[in-house]
Amino acid sequence: MPVFISLFRGVNVGGHNKIKMDALRSLYQSLGFRNTRTYIQSGNVVFVAKERNPALLTKKIHDAMEKTFDFCPVIVLRSANELRSAIAASPFAKRKDIYSFGSCEYFAIASRARSRNRTISCKRFGSPLVCVVEG
């Protein structure tokens, strides 16, 4: 069975859209998901599902969130394999010149497909190298 990660936008931020993580885990378990784990207070959930269709899973989660919590933030659902592929595809993975002890790489996940005509521009702001993808 595939492992999925659901990422929520704006959960437990500034006192808004409050969800206790034990309640969120319970909700996911009630939907039949297994090995449900949350990450800090972000609302991000890692889980195993029999269903393989991300659109159906997203709808199922969305409907249950609305019913249980009376709101539903934007849900971005990705499989563990999709996230592994995104990390492996980093154009900076082999660049030892931009990493130092304690540094890390960040990436953003879009909720919908972007144009294939992307432009990547990078600038160094002090120590960190910041790259922006447009398109």
pLDDT in tens, 38-96: 988 777 899 999 999 999 999 999 999 999 998 888 888 999 998 888 777 777 667 66
Q: What is the mean pLDDT of the chain?
A: 79
User: How far is the CA of 3 from the CAs of 34, 54, 75, in angstroms?
Assistant: 9, 11, 16
User: What pLDDT shows up at residue 61?
Assistant: 95
Q: Cα–Cα–Cα angle for 9, 15, 19, nearest 5°?
A: 60
Q: Are 8 and 42 in contact (CB under 8 A)?
A: yes
Q: Model-level pTM greater than 0.85?
A: no
Q: Could you give the CA distance from residue 43 to residue 7 in angstroms, rounded to a whole number?
A: 7
User: What pLDDT shows up at residue 121?
Assistant: 60
Q: Could you give the CA distance from residue 116 to residue 110 in angstroms, rounded to a whole number?
A: 13
Q: What is the CATH number of domain 3-83?
A: 3.30.70.1280
Mean pLDDT value across residues 95-99: 64
> Which residue ranges make up each domain of the chain?
3-83, 90-134
